[in-house]
Homo-oligomer: A and B are copies of this chain.
Amino acid sequence: MVSDASPAPAKTPVTLREVAALAGVSVATASKALNGQGRMTAETRERIRETAQRLGFRPNSLAQSLLRRRSFTVGLLTNDTYGRFSLPVMSGISDALVDNGVSVFLCNVEDDQRLGQLHVDAMLDKRVDGIIATGKRIDRHLPVDLSNLGVPVIYAFTQPDPGAIAFVSDDAGGARLAVEHFCRLGRRRIAHVTGPASFAVVHARAQAYRDVLTEKGLPVMEPLLGSWSEAWGHQAVKQLFDGKLSKSGGEKPDAVFCGNDQIARGVIDALRERGLDVPDDVGVIGFDNWQIVAEATRPPLTSVDMNLAALGREAGLTLLSLVGGEPAEPGIRKLPCRLVVRQSCGRPPDG
């Protein structure tokens, strides 16, 4: 197909000087010809272009970067080895940047300060145009100091330094989406089973949960905090359906909004085990929309998606505009979640 377009698979890359020599011009002229700069006869320009093509010339980025003080490279810091959250973010960032000809240095800093410094130094030495920090929690710092680095920094799905630019998911909004969906479906007694109190998102979502129920005049059951595990989902069902629900009468929940998909999985399994039908008896909504989990529950799980890839994209594009010298308001931007409806909530009463 491209038989003539893949010429010398150069053992040693061909330089501009060689192109110039072969085309019978100076390197200066060759450079200008290939970059569409300067003035010369169309014929000269074309001859140089052709020669470059024939030789398979590709400019040495290192040399270009050195001169332009711009490397078309950014550093991506993460402490998320497991990758469930950072992977979509990274993927989004990468997409946004690659489309703009920018490469990404992947730097896994774990939670190790020494490693963090090592990576930041390496990035700076390699003259990255900017840095994006991402993590597995939006209420924890990466183990690195990114202030006063001399290059723009963007935080994506991790705790930012004050005065920095950050993108995070709108957890409260996501929770509203879920609870309001339950309300629309006519559920009246909506419980909330979520993760440990040490997570900021737990409180943000719980508060949104309370707010929606209060607005709608529905009973608020105190959120059940536990761990992010299936096991906790099981246990929570026991508490919800065995225990005497003290203040709010003896009625059992007809819906459970879960803090993540694993909890939801545990909840669904436990409900089935005690003979309750999902969604007919109890509706369940998860959080994270972790596809592999959400699609393996029976029935498949409706879940809140944080749009992490879009968040990454946004972060990448913003960094690029920063690198380009455009100004940007500091602050935290909360990006909306979306509800991915599967079959764990049932259909509207009228539908």
10 additional contacts, CB 8 Å, given A12-B150, A98-B108?
Answer: A9-B147, A60-B66, A60-B127, A62-B66, A62-B126, A82-B87, A94-B106, A94-B108, A98-B107, A103-B105
18 inter-chain pairs at a CB distance below 8 angstroms, sorted by A residue, are: A9-B150, A12-B150, A13-B124, A13-B127, A59-B125, A62-B71, A62-B126, A73-B126, A82-B87, A82-B292, A83-B87, A90-B106, A98-B115, A101-B122, A103-B126, A104-B105, A105-B105, A265-B296
- Verify B66–A150 contact, CB threshold 8 A: no
A103 pairs with B123, CB closer than 8 A: yes
Verify if A230 is at the interface (C-beta below 8 Å from B).
Answer: yes
Query: A137: shortest Cβ distance to chain B, in Å?
Result: 17
Which of A60, A229, A269 is the most central at the interface, judged by chain B CB atoms within 10 Å of its CB?
A60
The CA-CA distance from A73 to B83 in the complex, in Å, is 23
A294 to chain B, nearest CB (A): 12
Contact between B121 and A58, CB atoms less than 8 A apart: yes
Bound-state Cα–Cα, A125 to B107, Å: 21
Given the contacts A150-B10, A262-B296, A62 and B104 also touching, CB distance less than 8 Å: no
**A residues engaging B (CB < 8 A)?**
9-13, 58-63, 65-66, 71, 73, 76, 81-83, 87, 90-91, 94-95, 98, 101, 103-108, 115, 118-119, 121-127, 147-150, 229-231, 262, 265, 269, 292, 296
Alpha-carbon gap, A148 to B7, bound state (A): 11
Kindly identify which residue among B10, B122, B262, B296 contacts A103, using a CB–CB cutoff of 8 Å: B122
Once the chains bind, are B108 and A106 in contact (CB under 8 Å)? Answer: no
Report the separation of the CA atoms of residues A230 and B291 in the bound assembly, to the nearest whole angstrom: 13
Question: Is B103 a contact partner of A104 (Cβ separation < 8 A)?
Answer: no
Point out the residues of chain B lying under 8 angstroms from A150, CB to CB.
9-13
Q: Give Cα A65–Cα B125 distance, bound, in whole angstroms.
A: 11
**Nearest CB on B from A157, distance (A):** 15
Residues of B within 8 A of A65 (CB): 62
- Alpha-carbon distance between A81 and B83 when the two chains are bound, in angstroms: 11
